[in-house]
């Protein structure tokens, strides 16, 4: 099958690859670059577990063709912080119990980070609106919203 050369900068690192037209950004990042923070949940854009920031904007990467974002700057949860140096968003999720099984967490962290950059001091209602594209089946959201409120408050 025909392939297309593309370049991606993921978490600051540059990659050159050959992809088929049908390969989605999510599977390229996970399976070919072995960056497995983003998760495939629903494959239809509903759950937000695959959220990445692409050229400055959070998107559901399961609905993006890799070839269509040739040249893009991509950030996954791995580009936000790590075990040695947690980002304030990650720290807040840990401290406020905004995590349980963890499957949705990479998407929530990436989305929260992008959302707070646009709106650093949101109300609770704005947080719920901003995170409405991320599903969590464990926490019931209260603790996630608390986590985000804590980041916004600590930054004030």
Residues within the interface to other proteins (CB under 8 A): 1-2, 4, 20-22, 24, 43-46, 48, 51, 57-60, 62-65, 67-68, 111, 115, 129-130, 132-134
Are 71 and 7 a contacting pair, CB within 8 Å? yes
Min dist. Cβ of residue 149 to other proteins (A): 18
Secondary element (H or E) of residue 126: helix 124-130
What's the token pair of residue 57?
């904007």
Interatomic CA distance for residues 128 and 82, integer angstroms: 26
* Residue 55 three-state SS: coil
Nearer to other proteins, 16 or 44 (CB): 44
Nearer to other proteins, 67 or 104 (CB): 67
Nearer to other proteins, 40 or 87 (CB): 40
Min dist. Cβ of residue 30 to other proteins (A): 15
Of 121, 125, 113, residue with least CA distance to 89? 113
Min dist. Cβ of residue 12 to other proteins (A): 21
């Amino acid at each position: 099958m025909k392939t297309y050369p593309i370049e991606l900068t993921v978490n600051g690192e540059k990659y050159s690859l050959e992809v088929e037209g049908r390969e989605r950004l999510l599977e390229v990042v996970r399976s070919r670059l072995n960056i497995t923070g983003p998760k495939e949940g629903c494959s239809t854009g509903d759950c937000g577990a695959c959220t990445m920031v692409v050229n400055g904007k959070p998107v559901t990467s399961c609905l993006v063709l890799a070839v269509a974002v040739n040249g893009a700057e991509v950030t996954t949860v791995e580009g936000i912080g790590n075990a040695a140096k947690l980002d304030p968003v990650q720290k807040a999720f840990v401290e406020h119990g905004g995590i349980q099984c963890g499957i949705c967490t990479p998407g929530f962290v990436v989305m929260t980070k992008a959302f707070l950059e646009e709106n650093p001091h949101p109300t609770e209602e704005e947080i719920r609106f901003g995170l409405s594209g991320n599903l969590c089946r464990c926490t019931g959201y209260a603790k996630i919203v608390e986590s985000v409120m804590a980041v916004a408050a600590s930054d004030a």
